[in-house]
Amino acid sequence: MIKLFICLFLITQVQANETGVTGSVRSPKECKGPVMVWLSLDKDNYNERLLLMHTEVPVQGSFQFYLKPGAYQLRASNEQGCDFEKKITVGDKVLHHIVRLVNK
């Protein structure tokens, strides 16, 4: 019983340390080149939409943002203007998203 409790405690701790979002980038043929993935606070007002982190990812590549629980916006864009946007809510787990760029 004590072992079970310790195991549950450790699992909870691991999950607590690893909240955030992982993603992998997919792109149609016409969207070439590396993709910038942006993570910001989820605010409609431009002035409050603070960018927390961003990373350049090759097509098919992956990334991870470690985040506090809360509401965020995940965006991606490349030099040609292909883009992706999604509002995400981070809880106590790591979410995974396929970042699928669209050529507008």
Partner 1 sequence: MKHLIFIIFSSITSQVMASAMIDCPSHQMRVYMPNLGQTCVTQMQVQQNPYIMNCFQQTNFYPNFFSSFPSAIFRPYPQPWWVTQGNIYYPNVNYPGAWNYPGIQQQLYPGDGEVFAAKPNVYVDSIHLNKEFEFKFTSKEKMSFLATTPVKENDTWKGILVEKDKFEVRDRFVTDDVRYDYLFYDIRLPKDKMQFDQGVCTTREEAINWMIKDLKEMNYSAIAVQDFDEHWQAKIPKEYPFYCIYPQYNAQLDEALPVSISTPQTSFTRTLYIVRPHATAPSVTMTHEIPFPRRDPASYRPATKIKREIMFREWGVAFLGF
Q: Which residues bind partner 1 (CB under 8 A)?
A: 17, 19-20, 22, 24, 36, 38-41, 45-58, 60-68, 75, 77, 79-81, 96, 104
Which distant-in-sequence residues (6+ apart) come within 8 Å of 31 by Cβ? 59, 78, 80, 82, 101, 103
Q: Which is nearer to partner 1, 77 or 86 (CB)?
A: 77
Q: Which is nearer to partner 1, 4 or 29 (CB)?
A: 29
Q: At its nearest, how many Å lie between partner 1 and the CB of residue 9?
A: 15
Q: To which residue do tokens 């195991």 refer? A: 7
d(CA 47, CA 54): 18
Q: Which is nearer to partner 1, 1 or 30 (CB)?
A: 30
Phi, psi of 43 (to 5 degrees): -130, 140
